[in-house]
């Protein structure tokens, strides 16, 4: 279809408004890329989907949809049998969670047998509560793995906590000395240290790990805790290795379901798009038009969607049945252009239109 005609009826503006009702980036892209249908069957199906979504909005409220990440890179890693980060696993877990909640939304409370078009989206969503639970019980957030993600991790972290407490207790005995700049235990380069006055650093045996910007304080690791710090760092390496193992084990759970995850993301986007159309329709108090194969239209109190609903003047316009040519006349700002745009926006592609204008501010609509 020639987009210049769509620009004339301000179609891109409508798509921009429509995209604002979508939640996911996939849904927004579907809205912005929506083009008029050239096939009557597809047009009717799309309208029916919107109507079904519209009914569900009133009966069940909005579906549980939130933004989902672009999982393309994650799926490539899964295909290569790689290991995913905590953030990536949470995103995949979120898709499984949202898919399950959408299925529950659709199948609970009321009879949804009337949704003969939407059911193919909801029924094809893949859910896996066991994997979902495994991910969310092990990963608290993108930076935190739960202590109980594995028995080994729990024991390592208990040892770390115990050793850190012992190191702090030992360092606290230094904090009452006169060479201490400030009575606090701090960490530099991953090792516990104490702040010592620069001019008195020779009074304590240890390793300097840092110096303050003013040069008045040196951060020293006393020799007495050197081995303890080494052991602590060794435990932290074990902790990181165990976390990597946990992440790999969780990743492997998704290996058999790459296609399902990809399909879920697309289906969530389509459902989001369908409900975005319904929300937009509700916002402008729209009704589903009746499409027909005959080259005729019958607009009944039609309103241009881009005009303020409190100011727009509805028009009723039959054309193509009893007559195929209609002249619209009137003064400037009398509504002729709006009538033309409103009428053109309701016409299915396939009917040839001719629009003529004259110096007398008259317009002629013709069907052919």
pLDDT in tens, 174-185: 999 999 999 999
Neighbouring residues of 6: CB distance < 8 A, sequence distance ≥ 6? 12, 36
Fold of 3-147+252-283: MutS, DNA mismatch repair protein; Chain A, domain 3 (1.10.1420)
Look at residues 83, 98, 140 and name the one whose alpha carbon lies nearest to residue 254. 83
Give the pLDDT of residue 333. Answer: 62
What confidence tens digit (pLDDT) does each residue in 120-158 have?
999 999 999 999 999 999 999 999 999 999 999 999 999
Is residue 226 packed enough to be buried (19+ CB in 10 Å), middle (13-18) or exposed (0-12)?
Answer: middle
The full 3-state SS of 245-287, as one line of letters, equals HHHHHHHHHHHHHHHHHHHHHHHHHHHHHHHHHHHHHHHCCCC
The residue-averaged pLDDT of 114-118 equals 94
* 362 vs 359: CA distance, rounded Å: 7
Of 319, 325, 321, the C-alpha closest to 300 is 319
Average pLDDT over residues 203-209: 94
Where along the chain do its domains lie?
A: 3-147+252-283, 297-367
Q: Is the pTM of this model over 0.75?
A: yes
């Amino acid at each position: 279809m020639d987009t210049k005609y769509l620009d004339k009826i301000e179609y891109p503006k409508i798509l921009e408004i429509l995209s604002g009702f979508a939640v996911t980036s996939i849904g927004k892209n579907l809205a912005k890329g929506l083009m008029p249908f050239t096939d009557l069957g597809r047009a009717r199906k799309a309208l029916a989907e919107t109507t079904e979504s519209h009914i569900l909005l009133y009966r069940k409220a909005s579906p549980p949809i939130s933004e989902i990440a672009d999982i393309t890179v994650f799926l490539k890693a899964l295909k290569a049998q790689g290991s995913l980060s905590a953030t990536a696993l949470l995103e995949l877990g979120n898709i499984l969670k949202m898919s399950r909640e959408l299925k529950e939304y659709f199948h609970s409370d009321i009879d949804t047998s009337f949704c003969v078009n939407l059911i193919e989206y909801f029924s094809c969503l893949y859910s896996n509560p066991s994997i979902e639970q495994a991910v969310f019980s092990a990963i608290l957030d993108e930076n935190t793995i739960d202590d109980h993600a594995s028995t080994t991790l729990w024991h390592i972290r208990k040892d770390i906590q115990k050793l850190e407490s012992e190191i702090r207790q030992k360092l606290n005995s230094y904090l009452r000395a006169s060479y201490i700049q400030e009575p606090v235990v701090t960490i530099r380069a991953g090792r516990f240290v104490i702040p010592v006055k620069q001019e008195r650093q020779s009074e304590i045996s240890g390793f300097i790990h840092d110096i303050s910007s003013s040069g008045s304080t040196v951060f020293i690791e006393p020799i007495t805790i050197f081995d303890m710090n080494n052991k602590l760092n060794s435990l932290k390496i074990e902790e990181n290795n165990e976390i990597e193992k946990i992440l790999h084990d969780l990743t492997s759970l998704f290996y058999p379901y790459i296609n399902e995850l990809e399909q879920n993301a697309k289906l969530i986007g389509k459902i989001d798009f369908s409900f975005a159309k319904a929300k937009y329709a509700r916002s402008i108090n729209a009704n589903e038009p009746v499409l027909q194969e005959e080259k005729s239209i019958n607009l009944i109190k039609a309103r241009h969607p881009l005009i303020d609903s409190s100011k727009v003047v509805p028009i009723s316009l039959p054309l193509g049945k009893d007559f195929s040519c209609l002249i619209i006349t009137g003064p400037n700002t009398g509504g002729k252009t709006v009538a033309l745009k409103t009428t053109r926006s309701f016409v299915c592609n396939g009917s040839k239109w001719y629009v003529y204008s004259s110096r007398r501010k008259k317009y002629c609509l013709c069907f052919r």
